Structure 1
Amino acid sequence: MITRGPADWDPGALPDLSGRMYLVTGANAGLGYFASEKLAAAGAHVILSGRHPNRLAAAHDALEARVPGASVETLLLDVSNPGSIRAAAASVRGGLFSRSRLDGVLLNAGIVHTPRTRELTRDGRELVFATNALGHFVLAAELLTTLAKSAARREHSRLVWLGSVSTHLGIGEPTDFQLERRYEAWHAYVQSKLVVHALGIEADARLRAADVPVDSVVAHPGYSIGGRTEMVTGVNEPSRWKRLRDGVQPWAQSKKRGADALVRALTDPDVRGGEYWGPKFWTQGRTVRQRPSRWAADRDVRTRVWEECERLTGTEWPFARAARAAR
């Protein structure tokens, strides 16, 4: 099931990322925050994005306090809202941030605790699917040319999609994408992550075919929970009960440790496009390369998933334009 990666990767000693810029979605809490903190500590400029201004401000302040000299900015971005996505992407493309380049995007934001009943976004899409998969499909398309331009200077840029260990739990091929026939909270989450996994691998195949020097990688954090994570004011403040409940789960790890897989997938030059990375023991452990889930490895399934996302979002990735931008 698992293919080992290079054993000398040290998540506590990242390569120097000075001069690089990364966008992290859902950066105001959890995995997104701790990934951002690790990137900033290695010298990268980080755009923290999220949909709540006050929570973003709290994360920004916490990161600056914990990483003296950190170079960070915030960006309002609601990945369930196509208008918000396009406005945020336009801000990045328009050079409104400290640097006019973009070396990578961590597509992290999403819904883990899914609603009990089916909910729709403003544009009529099932909420979990739209947030976890469709929004990032649109965001990646909007930023692809910018990533390709940056790749021309540094050999590659990278998209990292947030997978989940749940995609190996035997749920069938994604077909009822919007769960119109039947909605179950757990199924909504797992199917959305199957779609994300398929999109991440299919994106890389299409990028290679179009000669676009942007890698697409999928990474999962194992079973990373807040009660095992250090307290960060305004970012992670678990109650005593949550600490107790999460503390008796020996197969779990902290969200700070779970972020290691995401950061490695985003920054390690030994990682290749189309790969899948996560904790060695699936729910916890050092980051290694792993085999993708059954459906994500199926080319026909990936094609159907991609075409359905194109149809539902009205978005086609600008592969030809990105290839020209990278020359």
Structure 2
Amino acid sequence: MSTSARADWDPQHLPSQDGRSYLVTGANAGLGYFTCEHLARAGAHVIMSGRHPNRLAAAHDAIEARVPGASVETLLMDVANPGSIRAAAASVRGGLFDRTRLDGVVFNAGIVHTPRRRKVTRDGRELVFSTNALGHFVLGAELLVSLAKSSTSRWEPRMVWLGSMSTRMGAHVPTDVQLETTYSAWKAYVQSKVAVQALGFEADARLRDAGVPVRSVVAHPGYSIGGRTPHVAGVNEPSAWKRIRDGIQAPVAQSKQRGADTIVRALIDPEISSGEYWGPRLVTRGAAVRQRPSATSLDPEVRRRVWEKCEALSGMTWPFAKAARAAR
């Protein structure tokens, strides 16, 4: 059953975000791009990250053209590459950007159209899990102290993990996160998203246990597709055939621009608590409302195993104690 935290929430008239800074991964297209555009319209400073310099530049230019006075800049980062993540995070921590505070991070980057055959990253990690889940686990560890430092009596910074409605379609317990035994494109995607959601809920529990004033929220965008999304030069340019094909799915689909509404609400609505799960009202489309996630991603044992597996694969632990001290 879904419920709305605020009946008066209007995604077309967001509360002012002047003075706040947010980082969005996978910002050069789709949900990531429109999340950045919504935030920029609300007055936030937005750090748009992505791994393709030209595509990232095109997305940056598009926001500046569509949002007069937008405060945006770009950050090269490949979330499937731990070295790239660490270098990008160091740039943020080092104050190389216009703002020194960091009020939130959206873990959006990911692979939706998964490869038919198993692929691995340079460091031998299964590509889909590494991109969708493990990379964001590393980024969260790298930026946790920066987020905690930005907390105030009126605002707790947030991390928003991008889940998926596909997690409702079967258990897909992530016991073999590397998919070394059996691999399929669908399993790779769904299992990675179960892991993402499990990480988001486990992060919430560990943040609260450590007394770190940072909120962890999980959000899913429903069924958001490019053919129902406005044309944006260099960002979303679907063919006429894709427009027709996606148009047929109108009863169950929505635009990526609308899908980003849920992500943005999870990030900035002050009444949303850590550990909540948000998605479209009709599951595949509609206004953002609070929902109940799949039992698998809520399972404490699944959450613990996924977290510990990410620690083992990345060689990193989250600096909860340091973050708690930094926030005081």
TM-score (norm 2): 0.99
2:282 corresponds in structure 1 to 281
1:67 corresponds in structure 2 to 67
1:310 corresponds in structure 2 to 311
Q: Quick check: 1:5–1:287 contact (8 Å CA) kept in 2?
A: no
Q: Quick check: 1:41–1:70 contact (8 Å CA) kept in 2?
A: yes
Give the distance between the partners of 1:181 and 1:203, measured in 2 at CA. 28
Task: Show CA shifts across 1:254-300 (max 9, x none).
Answer: 00000000000000001100000000000000000000111121111
Give the distance between the partners of 2:111 and 2:58, measured in 1 at CA. 20
1:148 corresponds in structure 2 to 148
Q: Quick check: 1:163–1:219 contact (8 Å CA) kept in 2?
A: yes
Q: Which amino acid aligns with 1:160?
A: V
Q: Quick check: 1:173–1:295 contact (8 Å CA) kept in 2?
A: yes
SS at match of 1:2: coil
Offset, 1:153: 6.2
2:95 corresponds in structure 1 to 95
1:265 corresponds in structure 2 to 266
SS at match of 2:298: coil
Please give the residue correspondences for 1:73-84 in structure 2 after superposition, counting only pairs within 5 Å. 73-84=73-84
1:290 corresponds in structure 2 to 291
Please give the residue correspondences for 1:1-327 in structure 2 after superposition, counting only pairs within 5 Å. 1-152=1-152, 154-249=154-249, 250-327=251-328
Give the distance between the partners of 2:197 and 2:153, measured in 1 at CA. 28
Identity value in percent: 73
Q: Note the residue ranges of structure 1 that are not aligned, 5 or more in a row.
A: none
Give the distance between the partners of 2:277 and 2:298, measured in 1 at CA. 11
**Poorly superposed stretches of 4+, deviation over 3 Å:** 152-155
Q: Quick check: 1:119–1:126 contact (8 Å CA) kept in 2?
A: yes
SS at match of 1:289: strand
Give the distance between the partners of 2:151 and 2:110, measured in 1 at CA. 27
Give the distance between the partners of 2:65 and 2:22, measured in 1 at CA. 20
Offset, 1:154: 4.5
Offset, 1:7: 1.6
Q: Quick check: 1:171–1:190 contact (8 Å CA) kept in 2?
A: no
Give the distance between the partners of 1:3 and 1:97, measured in 2 at CA. 38
Q: Which amino acid aligns with 1:28?
A: N
Q: Which amino acid aligns with 1:264?
A: R
Give the distance between the partners of 2:252 and 2:134, measured in 1 at CA. 31
Q: What's the C-alpha RMSD, in Å, of the aligned pairs?
A: 0.8
Give the distance between the partners of 2:174 and 2:28, measured in 1 at CA. 30
Q: Which amino acid aligns with 1:267?
A: I
Give the distance between the partners of 1:210 and 1:29, measured in 2 at CA. 35
Offset, 1:2: 2.1
Offset, 1:172: 2.8
Q: Which amino acid aligns with 1:217?
A: V
Q: Note the residue ranges of structure 2 that are not aligned, 5 or more in a row.
A: none
Give the distance between the partners of 1:282 and 1:169, measured in 2 at CA. 12
Task: Show CA shifts across 1:25-75 (max 9, x none).
Answer: 000000000000000000000000000000000000000000000000000
Give the distance between the partners of 2:100 and 2:287, measured in 1 at CA. 34
Q: Which amino acid aligns with 1:14?
A: L
Q: Which amino acid aligns with 1:287?
A: A
Task: Show CA shifts across 1:62-89 (max 9, x none).
Answer: 0000000000000000000000000000
SS at match of 2:215: strand
Aligned length: 327
SS at match of 1:3: coil
